[in-house]
Amino acid sequence: MSEPTPNPYDAGGPLPAEPGFRPPDEAYREAVPDDAMAVAVAGGATLLTAVIEIPLTTVMFSGILITYAERRGAEGPASTRQLVEELAR
């Protein structure tokens, strides 16, 4: 195998530090949120999901119940008591 072609721009030593340069370790530590922030974001996402999901589930269940009552009512007369007994089975 042949030797790799040397880079003509490589002076053979480390580059001088630029103003504002931070080593990768330090930059990573600042970019990663701490545990409290992660817990707060997860809690907020869970709360938002619950706020959206609970009303949607209620509306969907109500729609299913109303549809059932209408379909059952089309079969013949039924009282509320009869519908409750049928659904409780």
Residue 34's pLDDT is what?
Answer: 72
34 belongs to a structural domain = no
How many Å apart are CA 13 and CA 4, to the nearest integer? 18
Mean pLDDT of 67-80: 85
Kindly report the average pLDDT of the chain as a whole number: 80
| Dihedral (CA of 5, 7, 13, 18) sign | negative
How many Å apart are CA 34 and CA 68, to the nearest integer? 51
Residue 42's pLDDT is what?
Answer: 92
60 belongs to a structural domain = yes
Q: Is the pLDDT of residue 81 over 70?
A: yes
The reply to whether the predicted model has a pTM over 0.75 is no
Structurally, the chain folds into a number of domains equal to 1
83 belongs to a structural domain = yes
